[in-house]
């Protein structure tokens, strides 16, 4: 088997390349390329490891014909078009905790630098001015720190600020009262943060809800003398308004690590008083960079080599321990989804996936993803378990998952049912001891069959001589039959036949089969 190949396209700690190699992947480190250069190269890679510089646009993704996973060595993924990647079946992962402490410490450093105007004092002292009388700072002890966003980084900032004897209040619609109590902070609304806080620090992602959250109007109505820190994302603050309010003195100081346009080579803020900035250094410590590099390479290699999924933003997690256990189930699930997709006709709007016995104990999301991937193949050749749930949603398919505790006839069973205009249609399968997937029921008829390669599904009357007639037809057409599996509703009633063939049956052979006495329907299947 050829080794998976990864590209590291942003500056990353060398541990990332080492881990890829140790985990059985080939790796290239090529940083600083233009989008055109990356587009020309990306087709040869299965994994792309990035930080914030590489922009993973639809154009790049269209050219990434072999790409399976994008790994962000860091937190923010606003440089990746995740919906487009999902549509292409590419997993997007990040490392949500590796640089949180470092970034929280940067925010605290910014608060202290603002409180004591350290950067300006440093520059002027080194210039020989000894400007002692020009720098009167403020204590942070006893002051109120207002957080906008109290997730991983915001919570760490809160704990450090409490250590500095600040009072901490937070606006975060997803923060529960219990969590606020646990953190030792007060949950308030955004207006209260802005009217009460002496220092405000932002720790939200950039979303439609948070973009421009510190708008001109909000800044104008904020407490006079407020100091503002942003180590989260550019775009959260109206930069022009902030510059005006620093100039008027309404805002006493601001420290930004991130800008609306990066790299920020010019900004109205650069000339504003009491303004401090750093060039997106929040995550730039040796410790954080080692953490995120190790983590991203481990996660990506795990996915490329074993199918393990950790910290994916567009699919459910699947641990390295779960992956091998789930692998035969996913093969079974995909085959059942594919079977029902090939057999059930019409506008199918509902699909249900039931798990029984050992299957009910497993992580159901990957199984559902695999059923949908098999099922959606009737609509798209490029579908996989990553993009199948998105495609299903796009098509308005109502997906339900049911887990049964009951003991059935099989140790483990997956049943897939679609709602057709003629009522529900189900197929079910199990795993044999060796992990081999087997179909055990098709549209209410018990059968035992392997679903593999070219197959023919025949519905017929259960009458003597039928098997011989079908066998003869195949022989006359020079088609070798691999397996012959039979099932029937009742003796003499409706029966089904599943044949595996060494080659695909042509339309002509199918037409001949349809004319065989007793045949009601013939469908060619491919697995
Ligand atoms: N400067 C840097 O180098 C650097 C480094 C790491 C992370 N970051 C950025 O910091 C930000 C926070 O990272 P994190 O790890 O704490 O993320 P997180 O997901 O743990 O926390 C984000 C918090 O924002 C809250 N939130 C979402 N929408 C909100 C809204 N409309 N109003 C208020 N709160 C809202 C969420 O509920 C969540 O608690 C991210 O944007 C990340 O990209 C920057
Ligand atoms: O979201 C992040 O992790 C930070 O913005 C860090 O970005 P960087 O890896 O480009 O420094």
> Residue by residue, what is the 3-state secondary structure of 136-186?
CCCCCCCCEEEEECCCHHHHHHHHHHHHCCCEEEEECCCCCHHHHHHHCCE
| CB 130 near ligand 1, within 6 Å | no
* CA–CA dist 523, 498 (Å, integer): 10
- Best CA proximity match to 274, nearest among 244, 253, 257, 259: 253
Looking at the structure, do residues 149 and 262 belong to the same domain, yes or no? Answer: yes
Closest-CA residue, ligand 2 atom 11, reads 283
Is residue 114 predicted with pLDDT exceeding 90?
yes
Residue 460 host element (H or E): strand 454-461
Please state the domain count of the chain: 4
Is residue 321 situated within a structural domain?
yes
Which pLDDT value is given to residue 140? 98
Which residues on adjacent β-strands are paired with residue 49?
Answer: 8, 71
Looking at the structure, do residues 144 and 206 belong to the same domain, yes or no? Answer: yes
Q: For residue 294, what is the domain's CATH number?
A: 3.40.50.720
Beta strands in 203-359 (DSSP E): 226-230, 251-256, 275-277, 350-357
Residues in the chain: 527
Mutate to test the pocket of ligand 2, among 9, 51, 152 (most ligand atoms within 8 A of CB): 51
Q: For residue 372, what is the domain's CATH number?
A: 3.30.1330.90
The whole-number average pLDDT for the span 485-506 is: 92
What's the chain's average pLDDT?
A: 94
Is residue 412 situated within a structural domain?
yes
* CA–CA dist 246, 250 (Å, integer): 6
The ligand with the least distance to the CA atom of 96 is 1
ipTM metric: 0.99
State the distance from the centre of ligand 1 to the C-alpha of 154, rounded, in angstroms: 7
The whole-number average pLDDT for the span 495-507 is: 94
pLDDT in tens, 298-345: 999 999 998 888 888 888 778 877 888 898 999 999 999 999 999 988
The ligand with the least distance to the CA atom of 107 is 1
Looking at the structure, do residues 86 and 123 belong to the same domain, yes or no? Answer: no
Active site residue 36: no
Is residue 282 situated within a structural domain?
no
Is residue 291 predicted with pLDDT exceeding 90?
yes
Closest-CA residue, ligand 2 atom 9, reads 51
Q: Is 235 left (phi over 0), alpha (psi -120 to 50) or beta?
A: left
Looking at the structure, do residues 201 and 265 belong to the same domain, yes or no? Answer: yes
Is residue 361 situated within a structural domain?
yes
Distance from chain centroid for Cα 364: 16
State the distance from the centre of ligand 2 to the C-alpha of 235, rounded, in angstroms: 15
| CB 376 near ligand 1, within 6 Å | no
Residue of 160, 280, 355, 415 marked active site: 280
Residues 6+ apart with CB under 8 A from 189: 171
Is residue 218 predicted with pLDDT exceeding 90?
yes
User: Hey, is 268 helix, strand or coil?
Assistant: helix
514-519 contacts at long range (C-beta below 8 A, 24 or more positions apart): 516/460, 516/466, 516/469, 516/470, 516/473, 517/463, 517/466, 517/469, 518/460, 518/461, 518/463, 518/466, 518/469, 519/458, 519/459, 519/460
**Where among 448, 463, 481 does a domain terminate?**
448
pLDDT category of residue 460 using cuts at 50, 70 and 90: very high
Is residue 242 situated within a structural domain?
yes
DSSP 501: E
Distance from chain centroid for Cα 238: 30
Which pLDDT value is given to residue 89? 87
State the distance from the centre of ligand 1 to the C-alpha of 249, rounded, in angstroms: 28
State the distance from the centre of ligand 2 to the C-alpha of 75, rounded, in angstroms: 6
Which pLDDT value is given to residue 83? 83
Active site residue 21: no
Looking at the structure, do residues 242 and 123 belong to the same domain, yes or no? Answer: yes
**Bigger pLDDT: 302 vs 390:** 302
The whole-number average pLDDT for the span 389-407 is: 89
pLDDT category of residue 359 using cuts at 50, 70 and 90: very high
Looking at the structure, do residues 72 and 169 belong to the same domain, yes or no? Answer: no
Which pLDDT value is given to residue 387? 86
Looking at the structure, do residues 521 and 429 belong to the same domain, yes or no? Answer: no
The ligand with the least distance to the CA atom of 291 is 2
Q: For residue 482, what is the domain's CATH number?
A: 3.30.70.260
Q: Which atom of ligand 1 is nearest to the CA of 283?
A: 3
pLDDT in tens, 419-453: 988 889 999 999 997 789 999 999 999 999 999 99
pLDDT category of residue 52 using cuts at 50, 70 and 90: very high
| CB 61 near ligand 1, within 6 Å | no
**Where among 409, 426, 448 does a domain terminate?**
448
Is residue 190 situated within a structural domain?
yes
| CB 146 near ligand 1, within 6 Å | no
Q: Which atom of ligand 2 is nearest to the CA of 99?
A: 3
| CB 311 near ligand 1, within 6 Å | no
Which residues on adjacent β-strands are paired with residue 413?
Answer: 356
The ligand with the least distance to the CA atom of 209 is 1
Active site residue 233: yes
Residue of 51, 72, 233, 355 marked active site: 233
Is residue 300 situated within a structural domain?
yes
The whole-number average pLDDT for the span 65-73 is: 97
DSSP 30: -
State the distance from the centre of ligand 1 to the C-alpha of 107, rounded, in angstroms: 13
Which residues on adjacent β-strands are paired with residue 169?
Answer: 146, 186
State the distance from the centre of ligand 2 to the C-alpha of 103, rounded, in angstroms: 9
Looking at the structure, do residues 120 and 207 belong to the same domain, yes or no? Answer: yes
Which residues on adjacent β-strands are paired with residue 399?
Answer: 351
Beta strands in 198-239 (DSSP E): 199-202, 226-230
Q: At which residue do the structure tokens 């902030």 appear?
A: 242
pLDDT in tens, 509-524: 999 999 999 999 999 9
For residue 263, what are the CA distances in angstroms to 138, 235, 471?
A: 31, 13, 71
Looking at the structure, do residues 78 and 224 belong to the same domain, yes or no? Answer: no
pLDDT category of residue 391 using cuts at 50, 70 and 90: confident
pLDDT category of residue 383 using cuts at 50, 70 and 90: confident
Which pLDDT value is given to residue 176? 87
For residue 120, what are the CA distances in angstroms to 52, 134, 230, 243?
A: 29, 10, 19, 17
Looking at the structure, do residues 215 and 107 belong to the same domain, yes or no? Answer: yes
Is residue 480 predicted with pLDDT exceeding 80?
yes
For residue 202, what are the CA distances in angstroms to 150, 176, 194, 213, 280?
A: 9, 18, 12, 10, 14
Is residue 1 predicted with pLDDT exceeding 80?
no
* CA–CA dist 260, 241 (Å, integer): 13
For residue 456, give both structure tokens.
């023919």
Is residue 407 predicted with pLDDT exceeding 90?
no
State the distance from the centre of ligand 1 to the C-alpha of 48, rounded, in angstroms: 23
- Best CA proximity match to 227, nearest among 209, 242, 217: 242
Closest-CA residue, ligand 2 atom 5, reads 76
State the distance from the centre of ligand 1 to the C-alpha of 222, rounded, in angstroms: 21
* CA–CA dist 197, 204 (Å, integer): 17
Looking at the structure, do residues 241 and 156 belong to the same domain, yes or no? Answer: yes
Q: Which atom of ligand 1 is nearest to the CA of 282?
A: 3
For residue 480, give both structure tokens.
């070798």
Looking at the structure, do residues 24 and 146 belong to the same domain, yes or no? Answer: no
Q: At which residue do the structure tokens 């989260």 appear?
A: 232
The whole-number average pLDDT for the span 153-182 is: 95
**Where among 423, 448, 473 does a domain terminate?**
448
Q: Which of 203-207, 261-265, 322-326 ranks highest by mean pLDDT?
A: 261-265
pLDDT in tens, 240-254: 999 999 999 999 999
Enclosing domain of residue 511: 452-526
DSSP 188: -
**Ligand 2 shell residues, CB under 6 Å:** 51-52, 74-76, 99, 280, 282-284
Is residue 522 situated within a structural domain?
yes
Is residue 346 predicted with pLDDT exceeding 80?
no
The ligand with the least distance to the CA atom of 52 is 2
The whole-number average pLDDT for the span 491-502 is: 92
């Amino acid at each position: 088997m050829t080794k998976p190949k990864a590209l590291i396209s942003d500056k990353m700690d060398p541990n990332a390349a080492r881990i890829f190699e140790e985990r059985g992947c080939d790796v290239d480190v090529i940083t600083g390329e233009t989008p055109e250069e990356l587009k020309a190269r990306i087709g040869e890679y299965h994994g792309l490891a990035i930080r914030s510089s590489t922009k993973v646009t639809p154009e790049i993704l269209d050219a990434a014909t072999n790409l399976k996973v994008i790994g962000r060595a860091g937190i923010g993924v606003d440089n990746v078009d995740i919906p487009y990647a999902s549509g292409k079946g590419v997993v997007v992962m990040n490392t949500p905790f590796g640089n949180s402490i470092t970034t929280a410490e940067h925010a605290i450093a910014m608060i202290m630098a603002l409180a004591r105007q350290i950067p300006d004092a440093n520059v002027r002292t080194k210039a020989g001015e000894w400007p002692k009388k020009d720098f009167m700072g403020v204590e942070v002890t006893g002051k109120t720190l207002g957080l906008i966003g109290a997730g991983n980084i915001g919570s760490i900032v809160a704990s450090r600020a409490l250590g500095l004897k600040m009072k901490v209040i937070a606006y975060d619609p997803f923060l529960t009262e219990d969590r606020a109590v646990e953190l030792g902070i007060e949950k308030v609304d955004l207006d209260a943060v802005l009217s009460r806080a002496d220092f405000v620090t932002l720790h939200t992602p950039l979303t439609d809800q948070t973009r421009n959250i510190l708008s001109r109007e909000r800044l104008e109505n904020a407490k006079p003398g407020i100091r503002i820190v942003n180590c989260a994302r550019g775009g959260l603050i109206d930069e022009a308004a902030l510059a005006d309010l620093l100039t008027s003195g309404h805002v006493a100081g601001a420290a930004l690590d991130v800008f609306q346009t990066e790299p920020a080579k010019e900004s109205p803020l650069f000339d504003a008083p009491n303004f401090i900035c750093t060039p997106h250094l929040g995550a730039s410590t040796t410790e954080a960079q080692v953490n995120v590099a190790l983590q991203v390479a481990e996660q990506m290699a795990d996915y490329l080599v074993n199918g393990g999924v950790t910290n994916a933003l567009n699919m459910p997690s699947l641990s390295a321990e779960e992956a091998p256990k789930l692998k035969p189930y996913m093969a079974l699930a995909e085959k059942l989804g594919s079977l029902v997709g090939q057999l059930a006709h019409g506008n199918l709007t509902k699909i249900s996936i039931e798990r029984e016995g050992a299957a009910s104990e497993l992580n159901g999301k990957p199984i559902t993803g695999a059923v949908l991937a098999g099922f959606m193949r009737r609509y798209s050749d490029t579908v996989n378990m990553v993009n199948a749930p998105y495609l299903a949603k796009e098509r308005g398919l109502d997906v339900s998952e049911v887990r049964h505790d009951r003991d059935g006839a099989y140790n483990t069973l997956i049943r897939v049912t679609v709602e057709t205009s003629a009522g529900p249609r189900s197929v079910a399968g199990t795993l044999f001891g060796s992990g081999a997937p087997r179909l055990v029921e098709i549209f209410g008829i018990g059968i035992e069959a392997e679903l593999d390669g070219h197959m023919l599904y025949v519905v017929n009357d259960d009458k003597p001589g039928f098997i011989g007639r079908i066998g003869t037809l195949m022989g006359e057409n020079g088609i070798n039959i691999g397996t012959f599996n039979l099932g029937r509703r009742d003796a003499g009633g409706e029966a089904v036949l599943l044949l595996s063939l060494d080659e695909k049956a042509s339309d002509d052979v199918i037409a001949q089969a349809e004319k065989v006495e007793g045949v009601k329907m013939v469908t060619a299947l491919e697995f």
